[in-house]
Amino acid sequence: MNAPRNFNGRRRALMQAGGALALVGLGPAALAQQGLPTGTIRILVGFPPGGGSDIMARYVADKLRERTGANVIVDNRAGASGALAIDALRKAQPDGTVLMYGTSATTVALTVTRKAPGFDLEKDLTPIALTGATATAFVVSSTLGVRTLGEYVAWLKKNPGKAAFGTTAPGSNTHFFGVLLGQAIGIPLEGVAYKGAAPLLGDLYGGHVPAGCGGVTDFLTQHQADKIRIVAVSSPRRLSFAPDLPIVSELGYPSLNYEGFYGFYGPPRMNPAIIDAWNRELNAATESPDLRAKLLTTGLDVQTGTPAEFAGRQARLVVSFTEMMRKAGYSPE
């Protein structure tokens, strides 16, 4: 005997609802089962809303809400080149409810460039999960009417005294890369400090600063919309998600190759079991097809790994960044 049509409809609706619940998780019960904390999750970001770091963190937060059902919020602690977020993280409870979405332009750069950064990279920050690698980009304002590095050099020669560039994080690779590029082209470039990518982009749009330097993640969308123009990228290879971007080795400056990273950190003294639980969850979220696609659109070369691999990459970058700073003619302040 066939079931009534309305019964079949209700059964399908219940099955669909059950599938939806499975997709979004079961809130605290699901979190506890995975070994994750059950309270509100805060993701600290050391830059203002609207920049690359903030956009990526919000993409990840959305995916974590979907996967776990948890209340995940992004907490912007802008200022001091990301040091305010680091300070908030190192003072947080080590229960896994507070994480930081950090970039090497902050964590490694502050360690290398400051005699007293206010934190110990190895003791105060716990590497949890790598999200991806990022290159540094040098961009020019569309108001200049130039589209290549060669055209920018020609513009500089016609406009002496306008060799300023904005940097999203003074004293970081986004500062030193611009200085080293100026050395390479034979025209000294002077960095101007900005509190992140969002305010720098505003001044680039208006032509208040002729050029800027930051992560590819800060500028890719605007470059593709022709609002600004990326004229040089520090990546050692063409980027698969943006193969049109000019890399420094092909421009004739292979010594300017540099690759940083983004990833999630926890506070000190975290339980290893919580670290491992977050590593599994963040890796799974990052590698999910939809989030991976979104992160690629921001300019992030998506990569994941273990906490130990993340820590190893960080240690190696401290060494290479120290050399970069030396070449730029700077010493720790």
- Rounded CA separation 31/223 (Å): 39
Residues 130 and 278 in one domain: yes
The per-residue b/e assignment along 282-320, b for 16 or more CB within 10 angstroms, e otherwise, is: bbebbeeeebbebbbebbbbbbbbbbeebbebbeebbeb
Share of the chain above pLDDT 70, in %: 90
Please report whether residue 126 resides in a domain: yes
CB 139 within 8 A of CB 181: no
Give alpha helix (H) positions in 131-172: 149-158
- Rounded CA separation 228/208 (Å): 13
Residues 119 and 158 in one domain: no
Residues 144 and 128 in one domain: no
Write down the pLDDT at residue 1: 42
Please report whether residue 171 resides in a domain: yes
Please report whether residue 152 resides in a domain: yes
Categorize the per-residue pLDDT at 94 as very low, low, confident or very high, splitting at 50, 70 and 90: very high
Please report whether residue 194 resides in a domain: yes
Please report whether residue 4 resides in a domain: no
Residues 204 and 220 in one domain: yes
Of residues 215 and 284, more confidently modeled: 284
Write down the pLDDT at residue 273: 97
Please report whether residue 249 resides in a domain: yes
The pair of structure tokens assigned to 196 is 């992140």
pLDDT tens for 14-65 read: 334 344 334 445 566 667 667 899 889 999 999 989 888 999 999 999 999 9
Domain count across the chain: 2
Please report whether residue 79 resides in a domain: yes
Domain boundary among 226, 256, 286: 256
pLDDT tens for 138-147 read: 999 999 999 9
Structural domain including 146 reads 135-256
Please report whether residue 3 resides in a domain: no
CATH assignment of the domain containing 164: 3.40.190.10
Q: What is the maximum alpha-carbon separation in the chain? A: 89
Residues 43 and 128 in one domain: yes
pLDDT tens for 275-297 read: 999 999 999 999 999 999 999 99
Residues 145 and 227 in one domain: yes
Model confidence, pTM: 0.81
Write down the pLDDT at residue 15: 37
Residue 19, Cβ neighbours under 10 Å: how many?
9
Q: Would you say how long the chain is, in residues?
A: 333
Residues 60 and 118 in one domain: yes
Write down the pLDDT at residue 219: 94
Residues 162 and 241 in one domain: yes
Q: Are strands 301-302 and 211-215 parallel, antiparallel or unpaired?
A: unpaired
